[in-house]
Structure 1
């Protein structure tokens, strides 16, 4: 189904897009039909709904590596998402793709993350193993289609099909061949299986190029900004980073051009140069892939059988080397492991308590529970914990597990 209304300025802007870009005027529409805005395209409206959602605001106090109280300058999920959106917009503009759709996907891609980053997701997924597990990408879909309840006419945000498709499979197809939406395979994470009977997102195909741009912008942002945060936290030094060939070249250029500048400036120069080198490589490689495919429409992108947006083989090897360095020197650092160990215990403690005593849940969540240790209670508990910020989870844990007069 196509959008019911598009104003003339946005139709004029679509003329500038590449033939294979997503167009709001050709959107498959929203699950619940709405009259569209006279001043905003359908994808701009999706972006605005994401920004105004409760889940987006909660990203302010959800972290990636460091817990919220460890420092004011470390990235949170919110600042990370804003940085991803900047890179995604720049790439989309250079490739003549739909910037508004790329931005919406970049801003929403982390909405489903629970507190404490990947440590929190690991703990919640393990706790939910008997109840179909927990997956942050599937949880993002649940949030924007169901759990956000701010509109009178529908649950969720009622986003366009293209936005939902991009959120579901921005990292690539989730299944190898078309499936019956009424009977999705058990291997799919719960959030996808629960939604597919409502709306088929064609999980067997690649997403549009805008979703692929948002996904690779995420890679660029978190790799480079983890360098910044890791250096700021003292987990490794610039001398340590010099052992990574991809980084060493930029460090040499900086030291030669600015030998007397303080380390803070050298770090910023390093990060901005690495981001620039990565994005330049993405543009060159993606333009070459698109030229070889010669797509005439967004459907040609979906049917390509491979990503059209990506790193060159040489850059991918360099990025893999950087990831290996960060894994050993940052994510597996003793201080980070101690913090993530505590975070996992907090999540598991909360899950186990709410599962055995669901009456302790807030009223709106307790109403969804069907007694202790039931599947319905498990999903309600996972949704509740998954929406927590780091600081809310820590405070909730303290209130429930610290025996003192102030918390009774």
Structure 2
């Protein structure tokens, strides 16, 4: 019997990819279903995430700049950029590009509105909150009306371990873990130049000397180093010099951008709105969408409120806050008698 397209692709993985690469034929899910004749397991995971509501919401979730124009990054564009960088590295090492793409597309679907400022507030309100853990919760339990996306274990492992104390089990997941940092450092720097918070030349001299002066050169330098340093495929690594320079770059961005006084007012505004919304829905859970109300018996009120507020986009959080807390001044309201 002739192989179908999926089976042919699976055969090509064994013929071309490195022995250490994750193979889609070996991937497993919690619930086994009928195989697709066209797409491998990792390709299906990518598509399930790409077509999910949580991924679509990322286009209205902030990366760094809450008040942003059309040319600033959002969580969605960041995720796509991480996917592109990850695929370049995976191709250079003959690892599984479909797996890195699926992990990259899904790694931030659990992120809060208002960027890391929102994540800090959610951690304060919920007692514990980490966007990587919430991303896993979204794809495992919240998507598709509570059914989840039934992703492969390899993709879920890469999503939950793209940050935090534990390393992904696959080399592909470890690629995304570092590609995420490459993407946000270079692109947040680019957005900071556009916003006027930084000028070219503000970064530590060692960053320019090692990586170049424009974001394209910076990405190329870090990606090339990862491919060269990881060529033996015993692990995904960087050279000591590049890792130290990236740490210097990251420390600079935290001091001058992420935690800067220039963005403090926006962080306070975002935090105030999220605190008010969180308290309101804890007190009035009946105002949550029905699908969240139906989950209270299983997860508890605080968890369903956390899930709902964390899933809001920046714009919808502002809209909700306005509808709940701001009097309708200037609007004609017809009251029923």
TM-score (norm 2): 0.91
**Contact 1:6/1:25 (8 A) holds in 2:** no
Alignment of 1:247 with 2:198, yes or no, is no
Kindly indicate whether the alpha-carbon contact (under 8 Å) linking 1:244 and 1:325 is maintained by their aligned counterparts in 2: no
Distance in 2, matches of 1:111 and 1:137, equals 9
CA distance in 2: counterparts of 1:239 and 1:407, whole angstroms: 53
1:273-319, Cα deviation, whole Å (9 max, x unpaired): 0111111111111125x3xx4xxxxxxxxxxxxxx112211111111
Which runs of at least 4 in structure 1 moved beyond 3 Å after TM superposition?
A: 170-174, 248-251, 367-370, 405-408
Q: Shift of the alpha carbon at 1:167?
A: 1.5
Q: Are residues 1:136 and 2:60 paired?
A: no
> Judging changes above 3 Å, is the alpha-carbon distance between structure 1 residues 249 and 166 closer, same or farther for their aligned structure 2 residues?
closer
Q: CA deviation at 1:249?
A: 5.9
SS in 1 for 2:72: coil
Alignment match, 1:52: 51
Confirm or deny: 8 A CA contact 2:62 2:115 kept in the other structure.
Answer: yes
Instruction: Please report the TM-score for the alignment, with normalisation by the length of structure 1.
Output: 0.76
Q: How does 1:281-320 map to 2 (within 5 A)?
A: 281-288=225-232, 290=233, 293=234, 308-320=235-247
What corresponds to 2:9 in structure 1?
9
Distance 1:347 1:20, change over 3 A: same
Gaps of 5+ in 2: none
Contact 1:84 1:217 in 2 (8 A): yes
Cα deviation digits, residues 187-227 of structure 1 (max 9, x gap): xxxxxxxxxxxxxxxxxx74100000111110110000011
Give the match for residue 162 of structure 1.
154
What's 2:260 paired with?
A: 333
Which of 293, 304, 307 pairs up with 1:380?
A: 304
Aligned equivalents of 2:9 and 2:62: distance in 1?
A: 39
> Given that residues 225 and 239 in structure 2 are in contact (C-alpha distance below 8 angstroms), is that contact kept between their aligned partners in structure 1?
yes
1:351, 1:382 within 8 Å by CA — same for their partners in 2?
A: yes
1:356 matched to 2:308? The reply is no
Cα deviation 1:318-359 (Å, max 9, x = unaligned): 111111221222123323111111111111110011111212
1:39 maps to 38
Correspondence for 1:347: 274
Structure 1, unaligned runs of 5 or more: 175-204, 255-269, 294-307
> Match of 1:234?
196
